[in-house]
Amino acid sequence: MSRIDKMVSRQLDEAIKAVCDAKDQYVRQAGKDFTRTRKLSMEKVMKMIISIGSNSLQQELFSHWNYQEETPTASAFVQARTKIKWEAFEALLNRFNQTLTAPQTFKGYRILAQDGTSLPIHKNPNDGSTYFKQKGDREYNLIHINTLYDVLNKQYLDLLIQGRQEMNEYNSLIAMAQRQSLKQPAIILADRGYSSFNVFEHLNQADFKYIIRCKDIYSNGFLKNAILPESEEFDITLKYHLTYLQSKAAQQDPYYRFLSTSSHFDFLKPGSKEYYPIQLRIVRLKIDDNNYQCLVTNLNETFTPNDLKELYHLRWGIETSFRDLKYSANLLRLQAKKKAFNYQEVYARAILYNVSTRIIQGINLPEKIKERKWVYQINVKMAIQLCRTFLVDPTINILPLVRSKILPIRPNRNYPRKQTRKSFIGFNWA
């Protein structure tokens, strides 16, 4: 049986080759760029961007060329990567994801989580889509990375990057759901930031199942005036007639739901006098002694409230993936200041993460680990660093090292989330 690291590396190389074979779609000057044989081929540049670390660019080049005299200069590398559109890395992510066979499922469904994270980039006051200025003359630029993440297989399926000033998470979820072509049915999980009638109906139209958290019944959400059971926990189906009308006749409809002019609902024209029927299953669950959460879903009753609670809990996997993507895969340490290069590196870090987690998923821990007090898992941070090294030098057998770096899983631990603002860390030569 072939080693999992060798197999995944081969899948990545084949995906890179497929993108480079269609290079005229992904280079700045079709028919001109990367047409001659050079040390910095398109394949070499793309793979280096995926496996690049946080050292200076010239140090990284020395490492990739094994400190040989013919190592390219940092300037030559920057000129080579300028020829590649960031869309080449988007295409590579999609092609690599297609090589995943027999993915893990829950009752036959892929479990996908949608969420986003912001990333500081080099300050540029002329970029209105990313630039912020606060009191005290504090200036910074942010991009927002929307992600669709397979929580059971630990793979980023899709990314959509927006300027933080133009961020629209509703539209990002709709767009990414519409461009998926999965072989298995899927359930999308999302938090309260994605709860809207427009999102619900677009996912219905795209044949996706979903579990999306909404504001609780005591909050100022769409459940505030709904006719609900008196019990604290419930599982009900609500029917709504969505409309822009505000007539008395419309308001007497028990299922009436007014859409304001600021509402965005793609299935009714603003000012229309028509009604749009929509049906939602609402499940209110007790989380602990004092907390409840409401979930909106289009799953039928074969998925019990306990199933929904278990599934929604899986959404936390995307939050921990952001930590690994930013810190272990070094997304916070961009190698360039140019926005197009930043986009290249965002996709490259996601690809590195996918390569690493696919290798991790294929490793079985030794039997003696099961005799210890805690259940153990592989140290993802160390594994990603080892996988990066392996991509630079495929002759290294990293599997024993990955297998030996483990951490205990201590259940029911709960800590408040620490939110600290991170500044851009960049370099002067790109």
Q: What is the pLDDT of residues 29-49, one digit of tens each?
A: 999 999 888 889 999 999 999
CA gap 296, 370 in Å, rounded: 38
CA gap 70, 89 in Å, rounded: 27
Token reading at 120: 């500081």
pLDDT in tens, 273-296: 899 999 999 999 998 878 899 999
Which of 205, 223, 428 lies closest to 335 in space, CA to CA? 428
Q: What is the pLDDT of residue 212?
A: 97
pLDDT in tens, 357-385: 999 999 887 666 656 677 788 899 999 99
pLDDT band at 222 (very low <50, low <70, confident <90, very high): confident
Q: What is the pLDDT of residue 288?
A: 83
CA gap 187, 185 in Å, rounded: 7
Which of 303, 324, 317 lies closest to 113 in space, CA to CA? 317
Over residues 111-125, mean pLDDT: 95
Q: Give the side-chain half-sphere CA count within 13 A for 193.
A: 13
pLDDT band at 412 (very low <50, low <70, confident <90, very high): low
Q: What is the pLDDT of residue 428?
A: 44
Q: 377-410: buried (b, 16+ CB within 10 Å) or exposed (e) per residue?
A: ebbbbbbbbbbbbbbbeeeeebbeebbeebeeee
Q: Mapping DSSP to helix (H, G, I), strand (E, B) and coil, where does residue 387 land? A: helix
Q: What is the pLDDT of residue 135?
A: 81
Residue 424 has pLDDT above 70, yes or no: no
DSSP 84: B
Q: What is the pLDDT of residue 248?
A: 83
- pTM of the entire structure? 0.92
Q: What is the pLDDT of residue 411?
A: 67
Element (H, E) at 236: strand 234-243
Q: What is the pLDDT of residue 416?
A: 62
Which residues partner with 160 through β-bridges?
146
Q: What is the pLDDT of residue 430?
A: 47
Q: What is the pLDDT of residue 37?
A: 84
What single letter denotes the amino acid at residue 271?
G
pLDDT above 90 as % of the chain = 70
Centre a 10 Å sphere on the Cβ of residue 425 and count the other Cβ atoms it contains.
13
Question: If you average pLDDT over every residue of the chain, what do you get?
Answer: 90
pLDDT band at 1 (very low <50, low <70, confident <90, very high): very low
Residue 427 has pLDDT above 60, yes or no: no
Which of 349, 358, 353, 417 lies closest to 119 in space, CA to CA? 349
pLDDT band at 263 (very low <50, low <70, confident <90, very high): confident
Residue 329 has pLDDT above 90, yes or no: yes
Instruction: Give yes or no for a contact between 23 and 33, defined as CB atoms under 8 angstroms apart.
Output: yes
Could you give phi then psi for residue 20, rounded to 5 degrees?
-70, -30
Over residues 227-242, mean pLDDT: 91
Instruction: Give yes or no for a contact between 235 and 283, defined as CB atoms under 8 angstroms apart.
Output: yes
What angle, 0 to 180 degrees and rounded to 10, lies between the N-to-C axes of helices 57-64 and 42-51?
Answer: 110
pLDDT in tens, 52-90: 988 889 999 999 998 999 999 999 999 999 999 999 999
| Residue with the larger pLDDT of the pair 425 and 215 | 215
Residue 102 has pLDDT above 90, yes or no: no
Centre a 10 Å sphere on the Cβ of residue 133 and count the other Cβ atoms it contains.
10
Element (H, E) at 292: strand 292-297
CA gap 152, 279 in Å, rounded: 29
Residue 26 has pLDDT above 70, yes or no: yes
pLDDT band at 247 (very low <50, low <70, confident <90, very high): confident
Q: What is the pLDDT of residue 105?
A: 95
